[in-house]
Amino acid sequence: QVQLQESGPGLVKPSETLSLTCAVSGYSISSGYYWGWIRQPPGKGLEWIGSIYHSGSTYYNPSLKSRVTISVDTSKNQFSLKLSSVTAADTAVYYCARERWLQPPAGGAFDIWGQGTMVTVSS
Amino acid sequence: DIQMTQSPSSLSASVGDRVTITCQASQDISNYLNWYQQKPGKAPKLLIYDASNLETGVPSRFSGSGSGTDFTFTISSLQPEDIATYYCQQYDNLQYTFGQGTKLEIK
């Protein structure tokens, strides 16, 4: 079955760039679907960060757009997140997820999720 | 930005009870509304998509309804394993926002 696994540093210093990778198994990213990143600060709700298609087409949360880059590497069957100029407010569990488009061009739902990875921003 | 207002923020109910959670959008989103269940320490799980469609494998005691700005999520008979936080999520114009969540506890 399709599985997603996040990886990356668990601790990032303020003002630096947070970098995470999501490895996809059981499905070829090149075959379709969109792929997204969602985060959840400790004890708080969910916030969508952005999504990408295998072609490289992206769309981002406007509140984070200036700091976010999502990319895809189809040869490694993975996609990545970079968030620049981080502060303590970026401390969160970061999830990657498969995005199933439901009613184009409106968007869709996240139907398969990784287990999440905790990233703390601290000096 | 479309804001999602979910209520209540917490809810205590007994096993067997009918439980209802509401989600209101700040503007008309047709039926572009999904519901998720998140258990402690776990990733969210998609339960309902397009306001009323049950995701494959999800028990039929879960249901959703609504369109436009007002949506409802219902558990017809609460089970102990349903203890979790539930989130609505809208999708419109490739911008996604979640409700603040409803924490469901057993009375």
CA distances from A6 to A60, A72, B69 (A): 19, 14, 34
Comparing A105 with B54, which gets the higher pLDDT? B54
Structure tokens at B14: 């007994």
Residue A67 near residue A84 (C-beta atoms within 8 A): yes
* Mutation target vs B (from A3, A60, A110; most B CBs, 10 A cutoff): A110
B23 to chain A: which residues are within 8 Å by CB? none
What pLDDT is stored for residue A32 in this prediction? Answer: 86
The helix/strand/coil state of B44 is: coil
* pLDDT tens, position by position, A45-96: 999 999 999 899 999 999 999 999 999 999 999 999 999 999 999 999 999 9
What pLDDT is stored for residue A105 in this prediction? Answer: 81
Check A46 against B89: CB less than 8 A apart. Answer: yes
Determine the residue of chain A that is closest to B45 in CA distance: A111
What pLDDT is stored for residue A102 in this prediction? Answer: 86
Spatial CA neighbour of A19 closest among A77, A78, A83, A98 = A83
Q: Which of B46, B94, B98 sits opposite A107 (nearest CB)?
A: B94
* pLDDT tens, position by position, A25-55: 999 999 989 999 999 999 999 999 999 998 9
Using the Cβ of A62 and the Cβ atoms of chain B, whether some distance falls under 8 Å is answered with yes
What pLDDT is stored for residue B73 in this prediction? Answer: 98
Using the Cβ of A118 and the Cβ atoms of chain B, whether some distance falls under 8 Å is answered with no
Which residues, in sequence order, are bridge partners of residue B104?
Answer: B11, B84
* pLDDT tens, position by position, B30-79: 999 999 999 999 999 999 999 999 999 999 999 999 999 999 999 999 99
